[in-house]
Amino acid sequence: MTNYLLTGGGTAGHVNPLLTVAKALRARKSDDNVLALGTASGLESRLVPEAGFELLIIEKLPFPRRPGIWALLFPFKFFAAVGKVRKYIKDHSIDVVVGFGGYVSAPAYLAAYREKVPLVIHEGNALPGIANKFGNRFASAAGKAFRSADMIPSEFVGMPLRKQIVALAESKDSVSARKHFGLRPDQFTLLVTGGSLGARSINQTVEQSRPVLAAAGIQVLHIVGGASEFEEVSEDQYRRVRYVDQMELAIAASDFAVSRSGAATVSEFAAIGLPALYIPYPVGNGEQKFNLQDLLAAGAGVTVTDAGFTPDYVRSTLIPMLSNSERLKAMSESARQVGVLDGTERLIALIDEVLSRR
| Spans of all domains in the chain | 3-161+341-356, 164-338
Give the pLDDT score at 285. Answer: 74
Give the pLDDT score at 229. Answer: 75
Do 164-338 and 3-161+341-356 fall under one CATH topology?
A: yes
**Averaged over 160-170, what is the pLDDT?**
94
Domain at 3-161+341-356, CATH class: alpha beta
Give the pLDDT score at 73. Answer: 77
Q: Which residue has the higher pLDDT, 8 or 12?
A: 8
Q: Is the pLDDT reported for residue 227 higher than 70?
A: no
Cα three-residue angle 264-107-91, rounded to 5 degrees: 105
- Which pLDDT tens digit goes with each residue over 253-307? 999 999 999 999 999 999 999 999 999 998 877 789 999 999 999 999 999 999 9
- Which pLDDT tens digit goes with each residue over 33-79? 999 999 998 889 999 999 999 999 998 877 777 787 867 777 788 89
- Which pLDDT tens digit goes with each residue over 167-196? 998 889 999 999 999 999 999 999 999 876
Q: Is the pLDDT reported for residue 235 higher than 80?
A: yes
Give the pLDDT score at 196. Answer: 63
* Range 164-338: architecture per CATH: 3-Layer(aba) Sandwich (3.40)
Give the pLDDT score at 63. Answer: 72
Is the torsion defined by CA of 252, 308, 217, 333 positive or negative?
A: negative
Give the pLDDT score at 358. Answer: 77
- Which pLDDT tens digit goes with each residue over 238-250? 999 988 888 999 9
Give the pLDDT score at 198. Answer: 62
The residues facing 294 across adjacent strands are none
Give the pLDDT score at 200. Answer: 87
Q: Is the pLDDT reported for residue 197 higher than 70?
A: no
- Which pLDDT tens digit goes with each residue over 208-218? 999 999 999 99
User: CA of 4: how far to CAs of 21, 88, 140, 179, 210, in Å?
Assistant: 11, 11, 15, 41, 49
- Which pLDDT tens digit goes with each residue over 72-131? 777 788 899 999 999 999 999 999 999 999 889 999 999 999 999 999 999 999 999 999
Q: Is the pLDDT reported for residue 331 higher than 80?
A: yes
Q: How many CB atoms lie within 10 A of CB 207?
A: 16
Peptide bond into 153 cis (omega under 30): yes
Helices (H), 53-151: 69-91, 105-114, 130-135
**Averaged over 351-356, what is the pLDDT?**
97
What's the CA gap between 139 and 134, in Å, rounded? 9
Strand order in the sheet with 256-259: 233-235, 238-241, 219-223, 189-193, 256-259, 276-278, 302-303
Lowest mean pLDDT among 97-101, 157-161, 225-229, 325-329: 225-229
